[in-house]
Amino acid sequence: MPTPCSTSAAFAEESLAGTAPVAHLWVIVERHGPFGADALKHSGLPAEMRDALLSLKQAGVKVLLARPAGRHSASAVGTPFRVWCAHPATGRMVSTVFDRAGDLADLDGPTLAAGHLPAWPSAASPAFFVCTNGRRDACCARLGRRAIVGITDADLWECSHLGGHRFAATGLLLPWGYVYGRLDAEQVARILHDARAGHISLDGLRGRSSLSPDAQVADIAARVVSRFRSPDDLAVVDESTTGPGLVEVTMAASDGTRLEVWVLTEDQPTATPPSCGAEPEAHLRRRVVGAVREIARG
């Protein structure tokens, strides 16, 4: 029996840092029932819903389907349904409930992609979405469902494919766009608990989706060695290439401190399959070179 892709990646010690999908605007649509291998095309969506979501995706918006965590119907449930729109860079998220699938056509892709959210109510609390899309990859179903077992939380949802299933179980924390990997149930509960307190849990963190891969690595490294835990504590202000594969990332902290991190991109020593059943492929990895440099405010 072939080795699961997540097992191969873990055995090869592939780093999680810097592997979050880059996405500047997320739209999450509640849709009960099974997720297809291509969630927007193969999940039995009404034609008007499918076409509206594909249009958003074409405009550069990251679109997921979601259902409440736990037991769910084998058939899709229709309206009414909840929709979230989140802009990770600003930590803003709005949400509403639609009565008709055709209501999604009112969302304009280019406007959303530019960071302009609809005039909906602000979401009352953070939300965490764990990928359980087994028709996309077996590891997502097996490990994703294991990561939510026994957790009863209105802010915890199952979702369609997040990307990086070899890092399953994967999860997305909105509104900030923090993406996680190799999750277990204890981590999921802690991530939600910390998020409600305004803190970012660092265990299993792959990166913030609004940042480049290099900046994701730098952001994590700076938080690990510093006191900065709030999503708003650090902001990337500059990325400069200083050598082959080497990027200097400069961050400004909320207290006026500046931090500098050097990130090196290199080949991962061991090829691993990107998904279950696929042939091993070469991957890049990013790591911090030297120490995080903290420059006190002058």
Q: pLDDT in tens for each of the 298 residues of the chain?
A: 678 888 888 888 889 999 999 999 999 999 988 888 887 888 888 899 999 999 999 999 999 999 999 866 555 556 789 999 999 999 999 999 999 988 999 999 999 999 999 999 999 899 999 999 866 767 888 898 899 998 999 999 999 999 888 898 999 999 999 999 999 999 999 999 999 999 999 999 999 999 999 999 999 999 999 889 999 999 999 999 999 999 999 999 999 999 999 999 999 888 888 888 788 888 899 999 999 998 877 5
Domain range for 225 is 212-295
Q: Using alpha carbons, select from 252, 259, 258, 249 the residue that is nearest to residue 287.
A: 249
Q: For residue 215, give the H/E element and its range.
A: helix 213-225
pLDDT score of 245: 93
- Boundary residue ending a domain (158, 188, 205): 205
Same domain membership, residue 95 and residue 156: yes
Same domain membership, residue 222 and residue 186: no
Same domain membership, residue 101 and residue 172: yes
Same domain membership, residue 281 and residue 151: no
Same domain membership, residue 173 and residue 219: no
Same domain membership, residue 245 and residue 154: no
Q: For residue 159, give the H/E element and its range.
A: strand 156-159
Asked if 28 and 296 touch (Cβ cutoff 8 Å), the reply is no
Report the relative pairing of strands 178-180 and 171-174 from DSSP bridges: antiparallel
Q: Which residues pair with 208 in a beta bridge?
A: 178
Asked if 44 and 36 touch (Cβ cutoff 8 Å), the reply is yes
CB contact set of 47 (below 8 Å; sequence gap of 6+): none
On whether residue 169 sits in a domain, the answer given is: yes
C-alpha–C-alpha distance, residues 117 and 108, integer Å:
10
Domain count for the chain, please give it.
2
Beta-strand ranges (E) seen in 110-150 are: 127-131
